[in-house]
Amino acid sequence: MKRIAIDMDEVIADFLFKHLKLYNEKFNEVLSISDLQGTRLWNFRPHSAKEISAYMDDPTFFRDLRVMDDSQEVIRELHKQYEVFIATAAMKHPASFTAKYEWLKEHFPFLSDAHFVFCGDKSIIRADYLIDDSPKNLKRFIGQGILFTAPHNIHETGYVRVNNWKEVRAYFLNEST
């Protein structure tokens, strides 16, 4: 059975929606997702980068992220034909571990705990495919990297790209979007 590793933030969990909301509230701004095409919030507002990154050190930050549209349904379908793992970088913000784990258990209860991988460098992941929004994670990955579209990676080229979970379904299950 082939193995698919799937990133969490900005692939199955809508990290940016909450991150931008908190930023706008704290700094009294009205930035939108379209303002962040090709960049990340901390690069867009470098003078506030430290405070922006600090949100992720809050142990509850990751607990209530929205689920990306169609991800649960498609991953449930993939799970029938592939070995599916969730591979999330938690070492940069170790306080995120419990919230990420609880979020995964709530929204993807059909996946085994043994298929949740909390790591730093994703190049250690041994899988046939890695679906991730970060090109840096795909660069050193040995299998087939698949770039999941997010505002910050919109200008990236050189990767197989999927724009949403319906396209993931089409890629892996040969169904039309």
CATH number for the domain including 97?
A: 3.40.50.1000
Q: How far apart are CA 104 and CA 107, in angstroms?
A: 5
Categorize the per-residue pLDDT at 176 as very low, low, confident or very high, splitting at 50, 70 and 90.
Answer: very low
Work out the percent of the chain whose per-residue pLDDT is above 70: 98
The count of structural domains within the chain is 1
Whether 69 is catalytic is: no
> What is the span of the domain harbouring residue 174?
1-177
Candidate list 7, 57, 69, 113, residue with the active-site label: 7
Q: Which residues fall within 8 angstroms of residue 162, CB to CB, at 6 or more apart?
A: 131, 146, 147, 148, 149, 168, 171
Q: Is 7 a catalytic residue?
A: yes
pLDDT at position 56 is: 87
Tell me: pLDDT of 164 over 70.
Answer: yes
- Which residues are registered as beta bridge partners of 63? none
Predicted local confidence at residue 175, as pLDDT:
58
CB atoms within 10 A of CB 38: 12
Q: What is the pLDDT of residues 116-151, one digit of tens each?
A: 999 989 999 999 999 999 999 999 999 999 999 999
Q: Is the pLDDT of residue 60 over 60?
A: yes
Q: What is the dihedral sign for C-alpha 141, 142, 146, 147?
A: positive
Average pLDDT, whole number, for the chain? 94
